[in-house]
Amino acid sequence: MFDIYKEMWQRRKMVHALSLHEIKREYAGTVLGSIWGLVNPLMRIAVYWFVFQIGSRAGKPVDGAPYIAWLAIGMVSWFFMNDGFRLSSRAFRGKRHIIKNTPFPIAILPAVQIMYSFYTHIILLVVILAVMAFSIDPSWFWLQVVYYDFAGLMLLLGLGAVTAPLVAISKDFGRFLDTVLIFLFWMTPILWNVDNAGRFDKIVKLNPFHYVVQGYRDSILFKSGFWEHPVYTLYFWIVVLILFALGNYMYKRMKPIFLDIM
């Protein structure tokens, strides 16, 4: 039932090696190298903080946590989810030169792009946590981030398996996903508190990205365990399982089609 994910796991060493190669290729020829992977997200966090806390005076503390800390943690998790989704959805189309010219195990390509995003995410996360440690007492709840990273990886693997074949056969679908990501950014409570949604908060929480973003904040800022939200946790993993099943089905049914097209 989950053939595509089985192949990803069996070739996990290749996924790891190719992910590191992607990082080296991305920053080849630059003086600062992978440090550029920190500059862009940190600048974006600073801009959003300035706009919302300094400019509009809307950045008030959230449940006792400083807005800058609340924002930074949310943005770190969002960058991972956003980049992983965007890159994995383009895994087949973006690597069509490999698919066409070499006998390559193409099933692993979404996983390669997701792990590339994950490794760059880890660097940013370590920097943010190191800064946070000066203003927030570290807690064993911080270790719970490992669980939410795993949850994010599983969600992205399912999404990548579903969307990569569709993008491979249609550029229009790729552009549609760009619009979806913009929508998700503003509809996921990253810059604003989900409590402000009032009676619509339950609808907002149907977005599985929120589970990961809020999980980061619960772990680092609010010392709350995922087991304290059993229904929401169960919902999230049901969504992941559905995406896994759908992704495996899409890959097996559409592989001959997009291979012919590309």
- Between 180 and 199, the more confident residue is 180
Q: 260 pLDDT exceeds 80? A: no
pTM: 0.88
pLDDT in tens, 149-166: 999 999 999 999 999 998
Q: 245 pLDDT exceeds 90? A: yes
DSSP 164: H
What are the residue ranges of helices labelled H in 90-229?
Answer: 91-94, 96-101, 109-132, 145-169, 171-187, 201-204, 208-220
Q: 97 pLDDT exceeds 60? A: yes
How many folded domains does the chain comprise? 1
DSSP 50: I
Q: Which of 216, 183, 257 minimizes the C-alpha distance to 65?
A: 216
Q: What is the pLDDT of residue 261?
A: 64
Helix axis angle for 208-220 and 67-89, nearest 10°, is 140
pLDDT in tens, 48-87: 777 776 654 556 777 778 888 898 999 999 999 999 999 9
Q: 262 pLDDT exceeds 70? A: no
DSSP 191: S
State the residue range of the domain holding 40: 3-261
Q: Which two tokens stand for residue 203?
A: 């609808």
Q: How many CA atoms, within 13 angstroms, populate the side-chain half-sphere of residue 170?
A: 10
Round to whole Å and give the CA distance between 100 and 61.
53
pLDDT in tens, 98-116: 776 667 788 899 999 999 9
Q: Which of 181, 228, 231 minimizes the C-alpha distance to 209?
A: 181
